[in-house]
Structure 1
Amino acid sequence: MIDQKFLFPRVPVAVVDIGDTLEALLIRATLESMGAVVTLHLPGTPGDFLTLLAGGELVHQHLIISGHGDENGFVFGEYIEEIDTSMLIEGSLPPAVIAEHARLDGKIVLSTCCETGGKRYGDAFVKKGGAALYVAPDGSPEGADAPLFVHCFFHALLARKQEARAALEKARSYDEAAAMFVGHWGRR
């Protein structure tokens, strides 16, 4: 990406809006204020989302999934009959389907979606999908807590140039809601 060759390089970050547009736009603006160049992805269907996760080299090094989650997975909701939703459970995309499609070799993935931080999700993104780090809430943070966590994490990562492990610990230490975000690490 050409922005990385600038005198003051800009880090490319992808924000994927799967159902919380206001949050995604806030996160985009926050990242841009820290010097990142942000690509906003608006997948219209669960299949589009899976295509993005399978993108391999075409996916930016940093990927943020903005949306909602529940006990079944990433919430997509209902679609017209012509849209393939066979991979959804009660309108949500489970981690087993992510594991089948994700090709995120060495990427840092952060989800703001409630209930997507458990071991099954970590395994889907890291063990099966190849991500270097997957971060998500293992619980249900309040609406404003997720963008605040994203800001703290990426401020440490981009503005302070901290390693991902230190950035995660810094962001998690902000308060109890931030501590709800857990990291799943790939091989070093």
Structure 2
Amino acid sequence: MLNVAIVVGFNSDLEAQSIRASLEYFGAKVITHWIGRPKEFIDILSGKGLYNDINYVVFCFHGEEEKFVMEELGEDIYEQDEPRGYFGSAEIYKYAKLHNTHIVNSGCTLGERKLAESFLRSGAKSYIGSIDYVDGNAALMFTIRLFYGVINQKKTLEEAFQEASLIDEETRTFRFYK
């Protein structure tokens, strides 16, 4: 059985629910993590907030200029030393320890090489993300098609990636790094 963690950022709940329902229908075990503050995101990135048997981490976040969009909290809400602002490659490099997992990122511009390399240096087996401002529906379809290939068709991740990226011009913006 495939074990998948879906990590949900600001205003990405419908996408995450759609992915979860599809993956569970395909037979995967799915755990959803709702991110409301930077500390929770760091717990996931560090691996502390994940079960040990997770094979895939799917990030359902908005992305902007190669950074994860984090909702801004009121200044009195942040904990002492909790980071503020968006998370880019420097923050991923600092906090991530996602050993032996495959990362799938549906957010805009979160497939750029520098960000991917930060995840790979953290121990991730592979990283998939879009290098452009991908249409949200296309990102959803790409992710579902990717996992359909892996789970139902028993394809390798690379084979499933190739097929999922052929849906349309939007899905061609996704890149695979390992």
Q: TM-score, normalised by structure 2?
A: 0.91
Say yes or no: does 1:116 pair with 2:110: yes
The 2-side partners of 1:46 and 1:86 are apart by: 7
Say which SS state the counterpart of residue 171 (structure 2) adopts.
helix
How far is the alpha carbon of 1:93 from its aligned partner?
1.1
Q: Residue type of the partner of 1:87?
A: P
Which residue is 2:2 aligned to? 11
Q: Residue type of the partner of 2:19?
A: I
**What value does the CA root-mean-square deviation take over the aligned residues?**
1.6
Contact 1:14 1:38 in 2 (8 A): yes
Which residue is 1:71 aligned to? 65
The 2-side partners of 1:141 and 1:72 are apart by: 13
Unpaired segments ≥5 residues, structure 1: 1-9
The 1-side partners of 2:95 and 2:163 are apart by: 31
How far is the alpha carbon of 1:87 from its aligned partner?
3.4
Say yes or no: does 1:32 pair with 2:24: yes
Mapping of residues 141-156 of structure 1, within 5 Å: 141-156=134-149
Contact 1:87 1:97 in 2 (8 A): no
Unpaired segments ≥5 residues, structure 2: none
Q: TM-score, normalised by structure 1?
A: 0.86
Contact 2:19 2:144 in 1 (8 A): yes
Say yes or no: does 1:134 pair with 2:127: yes
| Number of residue pairs aligned between Structure 1 and Structure 2 | 173
Query: CA separation of 1:161/1:45 partners in 2, compared to 1, >3 Å: closer, same or farther?
Result: same
Q: Higher mean Cα deviation, 173-182 or 146-155?
A: 173-182
Say which SS state the counterpart of residue 160 (structure 2) adopts.
helix
Which residue is 1:41 aligned to? 33
Identity of aligned residues (%): 28
Q: Residue type of the partner of 1:106?
A: N
The 2-side partners of 1:102 and 1:62 are apart by: 14
Query: CA separation of 1:58/1:37 partners in 2, compared to 1, >3 Å: closer, same or farther?
Result: closer
Contact 1:70 1:114 in 2 (8 A): yes
